[in-house]
Amino acid sequence: MRTWTGKPYPLGATYDVSGTNFALFSEVAEAVELVLLDDAGHETRVPMTEIDRSAWHIHLPDVGPGQRYGYRVSGPFDPAAGHRCNPAKLLLDPYATAFDGALDHHESLYGHHFADGAEPNTLDSAGHTMLSVVTDRGFDWGDDRPPGHPYAESVIYEGHVRGLTRTHPALPEELRGTYAGIAHPAILDHLTGLGVTALELMPVHQFIQDGHLAEKGLSNYWGYNTIGFFAPHNAYAAAVGRGAQVTEFKQMVKALHAAGIEVILDVVYNHTAEGNDKGPVLAFKGIDNAAYYRLVDEDRSQYYDTTGTGNSLLMRHPNVLQLIMDSLRYWVQEMHVDGFRFDLAATLARQFHEVDRLSAFFDVIQQDPVISRVKLIAEPWDLGEGGYQVGNFPPLWSEWNGRYRDAVRDYWRGADGTLGEFAARITGSADLYEHDRRRPLASVNFVTAHDGFTLRDLVSYDRKHNEENGEDGRDGEDHNRSWNCGAEGETDDPGILALRERQQRNLMTTLILSQGIPMISHGDELGRTQGGNNNAYCQDNPTTWIDWNVDEPGRRLLEFTSGLIRLRRDHPVLRRRRFFSGRAAGHTGRLPADVEWLRPDATPMEDEDWTWPKAGALTVFLNGEAITEPDRYGNRVTDDSFLLMFNGSDTVIDFRLPGERFAVRWTQLVDTASTDAPDERELKAGSTLRLESFSTVVLRSAREDAAPDER
Q: Rounded to an integer, what is the distance from CA 487 to the centroid of its chain?
A: 31
**Cβ atoms within 10 Å of 238's Cβ, excluding its own:** 18
Q: Rounded to an integer, what is the distance from CA 101 to the centroid of its chain?
A: 27
Q: Are 266 and 341 in contact (CB under 8 A)?
A: yes
**Cβ atoms within 10 Å of 289's Cβ, excluding its own:** 31
Name the active-site residue from 379, 399, 457, 501.
Answer: 379
Residue 193 and residue 187: Cα distance in Å, rounded?
A: 10
Residue 379 a catalytic site member: yes
Amino acid identity, position 529: T
Residue 702 and residue 660: Cα distance in Å, rounded?
A: 12
Q: Which sign does the torsion angle of CA 425, 428, 430, 436 carry?
A: positive
Residue 546 and residue 473: Cα distance in Å, rounded?
A: 23
3-state SS assignment for residue 321: helix
Distances (CA, A) of 227 to 173, 431, 451, 685: 28, 38, 21, 61
Parallel/antiparallel/unpaired status of strands 584-585 and 591-593? antiparallel
Residue 343 a catalytic site member: yes
Name the active-site residue from 343, 421, 525, 639.
Answer: 343
3-state SS assignment for residue 129: coil
Between helices 318-333 and 284-292, what is the axis angle to 10°? 120
Residue 44 and residue 38: Cα distance in Å, rounded?
A: 8
Q: Is the omega angle on the peptide bond into residue 169 within 30 degrees of 0, that is, cis?
A: no
Q: Where are the beta strands (DSSP E) in 182-225?
A: 198-201, 205-207
Contacts of 515 (CB under 8 A, 6+ apart): 426, 427, 428, 440, 443, 574, 575, 576, 579, 580
The residues that are catalytic are 343, 379
